[in-house]
Chain A
């Protein structure tokens, strides 16, 4: 992992509002320059205003409808897995952006590159599994609705990438550990468990690649501040997970505000337990 990024200019994302702007030489020059660097280019929805309304498929004429709100009814396993689906959508988009960075192979060593590619593949597979499994109850894909300013900052260096990744995986591990008890069908509990131990492997590797400040690199995979005195891992309730996702400000508005829990679990599913989550996940 190099520290080159500390010396590179951090450009603001470059917003393009219409196809016509790309016809202007100055804009076009900047567009191509930013494609060659790690700058972020954002095509605003208005760029697509000139497209027809036909869903023409991969030709590029389709206009994805923005997702405006997502709710979770945690009284059902579907609701619980919709929250999982939201996290997987965010993770899939984030890690895909990471591995697609033009300087990915220069800011990360071979170990970290393999780690991040493997995580990216797994999160995309998790996302598509949940989407396929939930069918009509799946959360619509809002991957194109990430907050570009937050994303650009998260992608701006190896350090910021790994810090963001540690937080995302911590949310996955703690969320599945805290949410598992509410699951009602044993088949769904099993599949949640299959995902949870993989997320734990992610978290261990990421923490070792970049330990939180003050944590011994040899112990970071499972250091003392993240394992309780009974040897138990982190856990959080769904409300806490959602609050932390919002605090990352990684989903753009108005969608971010409109992601809500419509109903908490029934008492018969289980009762909330105290959170266990380190200050630096």
Chain B
């Protein structure tokens, strides 16, 4: 900065635009970090600017890159799982492991229909992994690690091949439950990460956020389809809705009633997948009104204006189904790490 330049003149114009946007946002009542408020209260422009610059980058592009890398691992997990089920994995041992359940599916009257649906789902997971690797991650200056089917243990045994989900290789209903678990986890994982993509004034962040939302809704379609297949096999289990909703929370929400004697590790996983700090049974949601600058906390189980239809239906149950809930990154890691062989050098948990 030269001696006679105005104080703001030496700052990168892109940063200045973001600071102006951020300042305006704060004036309109968006939350400001303690450092910013402190700086503004001191009336100290350089201090406030320095704090604003850091505040602007509190959700830095490196946050987005981390979220994308994390998504990449999950998409590979799903993709390689479905390829093994279909018998199209590059790793023969993975295909062989799923021979029994693949044969069992093909023997069903609607076996071809199930295979067609799984093939379509796998195609999307491949597309998601490719998009993240070739487009999204490089956009944020990253390089996706190389991940192969060998990095996964679909029994959930962290590489032992004898984990609690081993029956997925043998029994159709267990396999479908596993697929549902992966899809619902994926929906919840993307939802939990979406906030990291919110950077005002950053076009790349907007593009990444929109893509993440569009992938997230595809995973929602997948999850609904798997649940529909499961309900059609078990028409009497009304906890598994034909609409493909998650009903209630915890183990109940998994709709695992058709699995005899599930291993403790499976019960634990399902409790995690449908539980968490924001469990699927949650009915309270927050909205920030940026016109009045007030927070509305609404319990949809008890709010007025609702009647529900359907045999024995209650507003509370309907409210658990009307919204899907997020999982934090750590909660997702704790769910999936048993399916992924550890390799910290590639970020594999």
- Chain B facing A: main interface SS: helix
User: Residue of A at shortest CB range from B114?
Assistant: A218
A89 to chain B, nearest CB (A): 11
Q: Given A125-B306, A208-B228, A221-B228, 18 other A-B contacts at CB below 8 A?
A: A76-B290, A78-B291, A117-B313, A129-B298, A135-B292, A137-B289, A177-B217, A180-B213, A184-B25, A187-B287, A189-B195, A193-B190, A193-B216, A194-B191, A196-B213, A198-B245, A227-B124, A231-B126
Select which of A129, A185, A201 is within 8 A of B224 by beta carbon.
A201
Number of contacting residues on A, CB 8 A? Answer: 80
Whether the Cβ atoms of B225 and A189 lie closer than 8 Å is no
Is A34 in the interface zone, CB < 8 Å from B? no
> Any chain B CB within 8 A of the CB of A39?
no
Q: Mark A168-199, 1 if CB is under 8 A from B, else 0.
A: 00000100111011011111111101111111
Interface string of A232-253 (1 = CB under 8 A from B): 1111000000000000000000
**Bound-complex Cα distance A179 to B90 (A):** 39
Interface residues on B, range: 35 or more
Say how far A109's CB is from chain B's closest CB, in angstroms. 10
Does A94 count as interface, using CB distance less than 8 angstroms? Answer: no
Closest CB in chain A relative to B282 CB, distance in Å: 9
- Which residues 149-191 in B have Cβ within 8 Å of A in the complex? 187, 190-191
Q: Which residue of A lies closest to B25 (CB)?
A: A184
Say yes or no: A196 contacts B216, CB within 8 Å. Answer: yes
A186 to B294, CA, bound (A): 14
Within the complex, the shortest CB–CB distance from A149 to chain B, in Å, comes to 25
Choice from B310, B318, B323 contacting A194 with Cβ under 8 Å: B323
Known: A132-B298, A177-B217, A221-B117. A198 touches B324 (CB 8 A): yes
Q: Decide yes or no whether A103 CB sits under 8 A from chain B.
A: no
A145 on interface, CB distance cutoff 8 Å = no
Choose the segment among B42-50, B128-136, B253-261 that binds chain A (4+ C-beta atoms closer than 8 Å). Answer: B128-136
Q: Do A218 and B117 contact each other (CB < 8 Å), given the known contacts A135-B292, A202-B243?
A: yes
A222 near B: Cβ within 8 Å? yes
For this complex, 21 residue pairs linking A to B, each with C-beta atoms less than 8 Å apart, are A114-B242, A118-B241, A121-B321, A124-B305, A125-B322, A128-B300, A129-B303, A133-B285, A135-B294, A178-B210, A193-B190, A196-B216, A200-B218, A201-B224, A204-B228, A205-B243, A216-B116, A222-B121, A222-B222, A230-B128, A232-B215
